[in-house]
Amino acid sequence: MRRPPLLLVLSGLPGVGKTTLARRVVPPLSCVYLRVDEVEAPLIRSNVDVGGLGYEAVAGLARSNLELGRNVAVDLVNPLPLTRAMWRDAAARTGAELVAVECVLADRSEHRRRVVSRSADLEGIAPPTWEQVEAREYVPWDESRDGERLRLDMADLDAAAASLIEAALAEAPPVGAAEALDAGGLDEKAFSRISSKSGSSKAQNATSVASVASQLRAREPLCCRKEFVDSAESFDACMAEGFRGIGASGSVYGRDDVRRTALDNLSEETDCMPGQAWEVSDFRVERLGGETYLVTYRLDQTGRVTRRATIWRDDAGQWTALYHQGTMVKAGDEESERGRGA
């Protein structure tokens, strides 16, 4: 029997982080992504009185995709009982599992900061001002009237993404659970590799790996995050005694070599360690067995591109690196390994 599709509805005022959250959870959940702002933008540019047209169009597109068995995520303010009822109706008509999410920011000053710092991402459409956001009608959610919803505080986007993936898997576990993850969550390719049977144990495993991915993503690039390596003591806690590394140059590094480099970086009078300005992409996590995990990713060090792999072990709540390797993809202008990690 085919599993029901997932209808994920991301609701909340402008600027709380709905679109950012969608970018993290849509690929791992294999969703068709429908953003009402994208639909309304050409209508607004054509001087059409949009009214409810954007919502009606997105609801129709959502139903069409759900009827084809596709998971769907919609991104919109969803401010009224009437609009919230649209998605309950769409789920009922298509047999989809509905996960309604209300995205909020309890910290009003942070919400204001995000709103005023937003740049336009839709041609010809300026994002709303803070005054417009404050004046926007938004009826408080009443579950007895509007149905159940997952309320997420968007102050911590990593935690919000992990909670949302957990809730979505509990409602409609994707085909296969989670043996690999990208920066936002589960790697889409992993779904096709695993059995189509998706019992609760697989959903729990996916949730576990999603949580692990969030923790390990925060620790990479290795030894380049001051919140985890800010002293000799914190370095010693997160690097195994027998740690070995192979650099992108082919050089072999021991624990003491990496320790010296990390402590040298700490001694420099900079706002952040070098790795915090580098770009990490294609981030994946795979459980090797027990509490040991393989992390792989692509690292762009301002033009010098490498593939990276780290083996991590959870030692009673303390993450410890056992091994790290870099493989050159594109050489940069300078090939000094100082400050570049192993």
Q: What pLDDT is attached to residue 193?
A: 35
Rounded average pLDDT over 208-222: 81
**pLDDT at 216 > cutoff 50:** yes
Query: What crossing angle do the helices spanning 53-67 and 81-94 adopt, rounded to 10°?
Result: 20
> Comparing 184 with 235, which gets the higher pLDDT?
235
Rounded average pLDDT over 196-211: 50
Q: What pLDDT is attached to residue 329?
A: 85
**Which range, of 9-13, 260-264, 265-269, 279-283, averages the lowest pLDDT?**
265-269
pTM (predicted TM-score): 0.55
Q: What pLDDT is attached to residue 263?
A: 78
**pLDDT at 277 > cutoff 70:** no
How far apart (Å, rounded) are the C-alpha atoms in residues 323 and 319?
12
Phi, psi for 299 (deg, rounded to 5): -120, 120
**pLDDT at 192 > cutoff 60:** no
> Which runs of consecutive H residues, i.e. helices, occur in 125-196?
130-135, 143-146, 157-171, 188-193
How far apart (Å, rounded) are the C-alpha atoms in residues 314 and 310?
13
Q: What pLDDT is attached to residue 276?
A: 52
Domain ranges of the chain: 6-174, 232-330
The set of long-range contacts for 292-295, using a CB threshold of 8 Å and a minimum separation of 24, is: 292/322, 293/212, 293/216, 295/216, 295/220
What pLDDT, in 10s, does the model give residues 142-185?
999 999 999 999 998 888 888 888 788 776 554 333 333 333 34
Q: What pLDDT is attached to residue 188?
A: 37
**pLDDT at 296 > cutoff 60:** yes
Q: What pLDDT is attached to residue 60?
A: 93
Q: What is the CATH number of domain 6-174?
A: 3.40.50.300
> Does domain 232-330 fall into CATH 3.40.50.300?
no
